[in-house]
Structure 1
Amino acid sequence: MKDYLLKATAYDGKVRAYAISSTNTVEEARRRHDTWATASAALGRTMTISAMMGAMLKGDNSLTAKVEGNGPIGAIIADSDATGDVRGYVTNPHVDFDLNEKGKLDVARAVGTEGNLSVVKDLGLKENFTGQVPIVSGEIGEDFTYYFANSEQTPSAVGAGVLVNPDLSILASGGFIVQVMPGADEKVINRLEEKIQGFPAISTLIREGNSPEQILERLFGTDDVTIHGRLPVRFQCRCSKERVERAVLGMGRDEIQNMIDEDHGAEATCHFCHEVYYLSEQELETLKQSADH
């Protein structure tokens, strides 16, 4: 099944909801970065939530989410946009531990319980919108829940989960974001809290074959959900050889000459997708000529 997400409302428009299946997308990230199991779970949760947050944007707007805890995994970065494209990486992909006391991957230990979660949105304005909150648990979902409540003043419940196979490939990945809209009464909020508290692990539901539609139906009931949109989700990077050439060009003539003299070429690796780009000596000579003009 291809990855996709749904945008929906429930309880007569008093609640906004998103649900996603992201198994293939997270597997692509795992394959590119060679992440170990706990690192895969941390990166997968961050990318899954970021993809849903990207779906809240419009046009060619985009956002970058950064989880910087004091754990061994280092920073986790995810980029997403309004079209369902998402990419991400972790500073230290080779992090793994024994399962925690709940029998789950110990994401909090990998991420750390101190640090910051920041979200930068490029909304096409002169200045980007930036929101930042402290990490509250390192479990990612709870941290984004705290972000929405404190940085965007939107009471939300955020869930994301990743299951990893013994061979380290991704077995299942998915998530949901549920947000209470202004004017929702206590009855709606209480009903929602009850549903979410007793809700099964999202990764288990995905593994059992539940679609995003079925996840929302389990949350709200079949009669209370209105689907407003469906968006394909995929790991997609924006890097290209042209971007590398522009970056090299920006270094100036002398620096390009140094690359020619010392390395007889240039090599650049994209953080987000690990694609490697090579520039030959001749290509550098051509760029050097352009730098003269």
Structure 2
Amino acid sequence: MALHPEIARIVASLPAPPPGPIDPAVLRADEESHVPAPDDRLPLHAVDDAVAATPSGDVPVRIYTPAEADSYGVIVYFHGGAFFLGSLDTHDHVARALAKETGVKVISVGYRRAPEAAFPAGLTDCYGVVRWVAEHGEDLTWDRTTLAVAGDSSGGTFAAAVAAMAHDDGFDRITHQILYYPSLDLDFDEARYASLRENATGYGLETAGLKPFNAFYLDSGADPADPLVSPIKREDLTGLPAALILTAEFDPLRDEGELYGRRLAEVGVDATVTRYSGANHGFVANFGWIPEYAAAFAQTRDFLAGALAEKASGR
């Protein structure tokens, strides 16, 4: 299948990257300039900014409540952005859509970013918020049944790493990991995955841009050989939470996400992997308004509901 025509039209209109070194401040300002005004965002029952007190310090979070209820399942969401971009505001629409479609409470994490914060600052913020949710379940009206971690792109890296950290710590409250086109292997050697070569140019995210965009994170002390940096390098995947992994046909990172799903399934982890045809990297965040890709939110809903149904039936 070819790239979806709406995606192809927008990709073709993208300006060439400016010459010279990447300036985080400039790119962040450009991202923030495209954030819709509050009145133009998907309405929910409540959206509240708060601060999670964690061992790594106070972490800003945004809590999305889809409708009035006595209790809620919770998704802790980590935004993407190559570890130096993205924010609570730039990914506000993703969190709103997740809450609206799944019916669970979504807690989006404003973790510290590279290069200002060295590894593992952002990761420890994310893990700390998950533990904070469990510790403050009564205040958050958490149902103590569903506690998922979710992330897109580099946020998917954090979601997979947090699931592994929790398992190693004996913290067994995470029930699901939801990874949208995740970056799971920060060794960008093109020989490692066919998708790095097949989707190298012309689809928005380009293989040649992976190293410079992730350099802020890697130069801050993140070692690509470390399984907390490249979760696919973890040797033992047994005991990890059920996984939903959504990949994009025209994404350089496609194959590593799909390989991770196969490796999880091989050791008995419930892993669902779906490749979205005609999509490119970022389709959930950038093209969720296209019906074919809005289906990602419905699939997330069904994944959570299916796992709960199995638990309730004792399977």
Q: TM-score, normalised by structure 1?
A: 0.24
* Greater fraction of residues in helix: 2
Greater C-alpha radius of gyration = 1
Q: TM-score, normalised by structure 2?
A: 0.23
* Greater fraction of residues in strand: 1
